[in-house]
Amino acid sequence: MSLPYTRRPRRSFSFWQMLLLGIGVVLIVMAWDQLGKSQNGPDSAPSTGSDVALTPTLPRSLTGRDVLPTPTPNLNAPRRAIVFPAASLTSPIIESIRTEDSWETRYLGHNVGHLEGTAWLHGPGANIVLAGHVEDENGAPGPFAYLFGAKVGDLVILQEGGQQVVYRVTAIDRAEPTEMQYVAQNGNPRLTLITCTDWSYSERTYLGRLIVVAEPIEAAEAQGLAANIAPPFATPTAAP
């Protein structure tokens, strides 16, 4: 039975046609590879840890994807804490270890982190730097959530074991994450508190840092002030 239409005859390719087709395929593959390289930059190459120029940054914000367990505290070490009534803050202080270009804050949780390498009470250096989250990974307020309500003149107390030092807020500032002068160890003795601010919905990160700076007050003045705002387990000591 004949078909109701006429089939086109099967076409065969000559040797030269097959050769040209193969060359065309090769050229297309080469062009695609070159396009991919150009999108990564003309000098792009796999980088290693030894050739990456790291830009120091202030402690970064917390995300739910990278929360680390809080380290087990050393029960033999003196208890450290910060009391900041104007910021609704009473929190333990744990060590925030130094990383390649910043400090590790992912395990802080509702603790406040003392930035490793910065000063501490009566120790070397001039600037005690503490960092805390403005919110946790679930969006609940973190220990420094109410730091935005701080004002010049507010009192802050640092405690360690049986001693404590009272500070008075002297400056409040906003900074870029790369402004490292706030952790410098020069100048007069002081306390610097850092948290994240300026959330970007498009970039899904905090673009700025809130900086609160406080300076120690003399023990004679601190004696009466501390008794009204902090638990009486510690005795105010002279400013470092």
- Domain contains 17: yes
Q: How many domains does the chain have?
A: 2
208-227, pLDDT tens digit by residue?
899 999 999 987 677 667 66
19 and 113, same structural domain? Answer: no
181-196, pLDDT tens digit by residue?
899 999 899 999 999 8
- Domain contains 142: yes
What is the domain range of residue 20?
13-42
- Domain contains 7: no
128-177, pLDDT tens digit by residue?
999 998 887 777 888 999 999 999 999 999 999 888 899 999 999 999 98
- Domain contains 26: yes
85-113, pLDDT tens digit by residue?
999 899 999 888 887 778 877 778 889 99
220 and 103, same structural domain? Answer: yes
Strands 80-84 and 155-160 turn out to be antiparallel
What is this structure's pTM?
Answer: 0.64
Helix (H) or strand (E) holding 138: none
Buried/exposed code over 13-41 (b: 16+ C-beta within 10 A; e: otherwise): eeeeeeeeeeeeeeeeeeeeeeeeeeeee
Res 192: pLDDT: 96
- Domain contains 111: yes
Give strand pairing partners of 112.
Answer: 93
161 and 112, same structural domain? Answer: yes
